[in-house]
Structures are given as structure tokens and as C-alpha cells.
Amino acid sequence: MTTVYKFGGASIKDAAAIRHLGELLASVRTRPLVVVVSAMGKTTNALEALLAAARSDDEADYRSRLDELRRAHLATVDALFGDRAARVAERVAALFEELDRRHRAHWREPRPFHYDQTICFGELLSTTIVSAWLDEIGTATDWQDARELIVTDACHQAANIDWEATGRKIRALPRDGDRLLLTQGFIGGTPEGVSTTLGREGSDFSAAIFAHCLEAKELVIWKDVPGLFNADPRRFDNAVQLAQISYDEAIELAWHGAKVIHPKTLAPLRQQGIPLTVRSFEALDAPPSTISAEGASAAAPAFILAEEQVLLEVSPRDFSFMDEARQHDILGRLVEAGAHANLVDSGAMRLSLCLDSHPARLEPLVEALAADYALERHDDLTLLTVRHPSEPLLEALGGGREILAERRNRDTAQRLFRSSECPGTWHIPR
């Protein structure tokens, strides 16, 4: 049975990281093996900035950012291949020429379409370099363009999968022999060959799509952390690793913003009963975490922080009710803007929305809402989500801070605080 590996940007951020990846894959004799790879390091952020420069018609800024990206990728090629770099450098340079052409062709098109035609180059560049390096060290690869395998609709920046067509294409791939199949995360394509993306951080989802369609034995996501924790160990000084967790609990944690697993990843795995293992590429002997049907669903508390949040309090200008029709209109505008509300709370005359501070999505949404509704905005906030809370636990975590918005159901509590009132390091009360 096939095994699927997924590596994020941190695992290929530079030449040293790619060498380490090569050593890891050279030691793995599992076949068939599909390897899904993200863009290098912070490349997607850099491409988004490049996109903004292109759309603002700032030629100097655009050219500077494009040259910086090109130099960074070519420097990685030089560091890896030395005097044998010419062939790979030529392929990378050709991709940048194509990226430049696409920006110039599409900068007046709607932003979501333009985004998908250009941001996909991050993964195309990374897999081109990684594939060449693996071949260089004797690990034979079969490079595949995910845009020709993952078939989607034309809902740009959040494309929907055509599972039947995608399954046919993926299952038709050759999987015999010793070659590993290397492809990209995050990207897909329409039947007409137009590039699409699956949503930010969608490479985990891509790996799950391949695992689902191939009825894989296992999906392994390699991270810079040893596994799943009940809180971010970089922000909570006493976070503990979770060895086993159920699909349902992992889906809840992902939905509420836990950063280890993408929210869309788990559903296709659950349908096929495919376990997902999270391992550290930095500490290969560290015990992993596994998400499966047999995983524990115990009601142990888990903690999720979302920072750089914005609270929008939306009210009808005529002091009428915030009824279903108005809520439908407001939430529909979120969908159109490609935004996700991390917290939604409604009252008789207001709808409160907690959103990520993502200017490209947030500011047009704010402008549109302010044209039709009374709008109050609060910036620089932190959202704390607690799974399976108790009253004493919430009271201890509150620390006397002002709560700007709150939502709670049987299993989950969310509270929104001013970031200036939150500690740099949190401690989970025992």
C-alpha cells in the first residue's frame, strides 16, 4: 500500500534543509511513496507581496521583489549543486520568466484569479529544486504537476475538489519500481488547465487528497515540532504532547485554529480510515503523534491562541433587528472576501465577528460593510479558545482581563482579549 509524506516550507527553507530532507528520504525504503512539498520558507508570503506590487502598478517595487525572490532561489541552487548548478538554474530562471509573464498578463484581472495564476509558482519552484537534488544524490523521483492531477472548480483561492476526476487521474499514476512520486501541495487546476489554489496552508489538504484517492496506508506530515500538543509549546510553558487523538477532536482543534493540521485535511482521511502521523524532521527519533479512529477522545483541555485579531461589531443603521436576512448578507460578504470568522456572536441589534488581520481580505470587507451598516472596529486582539473547559480553568486563564467578546457551547469556550493585556508566555493551570 502507498504511503504519503508531506513536507512544509520550514523543511526546505534553504540548502541545508533540503540536504537534510534528502538524507531523510534516502533512508526510507518504503514504496510506493508519494511526497507532497510546499513552497520554500516564506516564499508564499513573498509572492503575495509581489502580487500586491503588481496590482498597484508599482513597477519599481514589483521588480525589486521579483529580483529578490529569483536571487534567493538561485542562491539555494548554487549552494546545493555548485559547479553543476547550470541545468537546474536554467529551469528555475525559466519559471521566474513565466511568473513575470503571468503577472503582466493578469494584473487587471480579479484578484482571486490573478492570485492563483501566480502564487502557484512557489510550489513549482520548490519541487523543481528538490526533485533535482534528490536525483543528484541517487534518490530517483517522478516529478508530477499537481495542477494536472487535482481537478477543481474555478472558485479561486478556495477551490473545490472534483473527487471523481481527481481520483481517476491520481490512480492512473505509475507507482511501480523504486522511484518516489514528488508533487506540490496547495495547488490544483480546472479541467481547462487554469491554475487554482486550495486555501492558505492547503498543502496538508493536498497530501490528504492523494492519500484518500490512493487508499494509502498512512499519511505522515513532517513538521518542525515532534507532534501534536494540547497547546502551542512556544506560547504555553507547560504544554504536553498528545500521543493519540481521534479524528473528531483533531477536526475541532483544527477548525478553531490549531496550526499543526489544516482544517480540511482530516475529513478525507477519516472517510477511508487512514491514520495521520505527525513527526519531527528535526528529531527523527522523537515519539510522534497519531490521529486515527482509535485515537483518544477524552475531554482533556486544549488551548489555542490566535493573535493579530480584529473585532468587527456590525449593526443596522436604522436600529432594526439583526435578523436572519441581515446575518445572511453579512456572512455572505465574508465568503466573497475569502475571510473566515474565528468567532461569531450575535445579539438583537449587532453581529460580532472576530477575523484575522489580513489586510488584503479584511480592508475591502470593512469598506463594504461600512457602506451599509454601522461598524465598530477593535484591532490588536488575541483570541483564546479552550476545548473542554471548566469554570475554574477559565477564571484562572482570564486573569482579570477585559473580555471584548465571548462565545461558549458545551465543549468549547472562546474569549477575545486586548493583546496588550495578554502575557507573552501563558501557563496552563493544573
Write the DSSP assignment of 395-413 as a string of letters.
HHHHTT---SEEEE-SSEE
Residue 300 clears pLDDT 90, i.e. is over it: no
**Least confident range of 17-21, 173-177, 362-366:** 173-177
At 237-287, the pLDDT tens digits run: 999 999 999 998 998 898 888 877 877 899 999 999 999 999 999 999 999
At 60-81, the pLDDT tens digits run: 999 999 999 999 999 999 999 9
**Least confident range of 165-174, 198-207, 365-374:** 198-207
* pLDDT at res. 298: 58
Alpha carbon distances (Å) from 85 to 79, 136, 160, 188, 273: 9, 11, 38, 29, 43
Do 138 and 117 touch, CB atoms closer than 8 A? no
**Environment class of 181 (CB within 10 Å of its CB; exposed 0-12, middle 13-18, buried 19+):** buried
Tell how strand 276-280 and strand 302-316 pair up: unpaired
- Mean pLDDT, range 367-379, rounded to an integer: 95
* pLDDT at res. 225: 84
* pLDDT at res. 296: 61
* pLDDT at res. 254: 87
Domains of the chain: 3-223 (3.40.1160.10), 302-421 (3.30.2130.10)
Residue 220 clears pLDDT 80, i.e. is over it: yes
Alpha carbon distances (Å) from 429 to 236, 238, 390, 392, 399: 11, 9, 11, 9, 11
- Percent of the chain at pLDDT > 70 equals 98
Residue listed under C-alpha cell 477575523: 355
* pLDDT at res. 399: 84
Length of the chain: 430
Which letter does DSSP use for residue 169 in this model?
H
- Percent of the chain at pLDDT > 90 equals 84
- Mean pLDDT, range 417-423, rounded to an integer: 95
What is the pLDDT confidence band of residue 86, given thresholds at 50, 70 and 90? very high
* pLDDT at res. 262: 76
For the record, the C-alpha cell of 245 comes out as 487523538
* pLDDT at res. 199: 87
Buried-exposed string 126-136: b where 16+ CB fall within 10 A, e elsewhere: bbbbbbbbbee
* pLDDT at res. 163: 98
**Environment class of 207 (CB within 10 Å of its CB; exposed 0-12, middle 13-18, buried 19+):** buried
- Mean pLDDT, range 388-408, rounded to an integer: 92
For the chain, the farthest-separated pair of C-alpha atoms sits apart, in whole angstroms, at 72
* pLDDT at res. 407: 94
Residue 401 clears pLDDT 90, i.e. is over it: yes
pTM for the model: 0.86
Alpha carbon distances (Å) from 105 to 49, 75, 140, 302, 369: 17, 28, 36, 47, 31
- Mean pLDDT, range 371-391, rounded to an integer: 96
- Mean pLDDT, range 1-29, rounded to an integer: 96
At 406-415, the pLDDT tens digits run: 999 999 999 9
Residue 317 clears pLDDT 90, i.e. is over it: yes
Tell how strand 241-242 and strand 228-229 pair up: antiparallel
Q: How many CA atoms lie within 13 A of 264 on its CB side?
A: 17
* pLDDT at res. 124: 98
* pLDDT at res. 297: 58
Task: Write the single-letter amino acid at 290.
Answer: T
Residue listed under C-alpha cell 530562471: 93
Residue 201 clears pLDDT 80, i.e. is over it: no
Q: Which of 412, 397, 423, 426 is nearest to 344 (CA)?
A: 412
- Mean pLDDT, range 17-31, rounded to an integer: 95
* pLDDT at res. 402: 94
For the record, the C-alpha cell of 35 comes out as 511526497
For the record, the C-alpha cell of 153 comes out as 472548480
DSSP letter for each residue of 128-149:
HHHHHHHHHTT--EEE--GGGT
**Environment class of 261 (CB within 10 Å of its CB; exposed 0-12, middle 13-18, buried 19+):** buried
